[in-house]
Amino acid sequence: MTVDATVTGDLFAAGYGVVVSGYALLAGSEVTLNGAIAGDTVLVADKLVFGSGAGVAGALTIYADKPESVVVPASVALAGRIRIEVRKNYKEEDWVESMLVKVPLWRVPVAG
């Protein structure tokens, strides 16, 4: 998934690879941040990449399996605005009740 335009509201995205320029909450196997984000940002990823244009003006929260291995370049965010937490692993039944819209996966239409 790639978002090349300015995002003026919130963006919630999940996928194998997510590339974003805008204000976002991102979760994916691999997340690459290439653009400037004016607001707060939450990143959850197995692999996190900061491109040369990456920057977060608001608070940056990162959830990682090994927080000590996460390196945020000084050009991305001020150290006082960065929080790195341990990512918890949940079973589906732990989070499914908090979903705003409950759609069983077998009912999701697939284009073919």
Q: pLDDT digit string (tens) for 58-69?
A: 899 999 888 999
Cα angle 66-70-71, degrees, rounded to a multiple of 5: 165
The answer to whether residue 92 is domain-embedded is yes
Does the pTM surpass 0.75? The reply is no
Average pLDDT of the residues of the chain: 75
DSSP 8-state secondary structure symbol assigned to residue 68: G
| Residue listed under structure tokens 């150290």 | 79
The answer to whether residue 112 is domain-embedded is no
Contact status, residue 80 vs residue 63, Cβ threshold 8 Å: no
Domain count, the chain: 1
pLDDT in tens, 20-59: 555 567 777 888 888 788 778 889 888 899 988 888 888 9
The answer to whether residue 12 is domain-embedded is yes
The answer to whether residue 6 is domain-embedded is yes
Domain around 9: 2-107
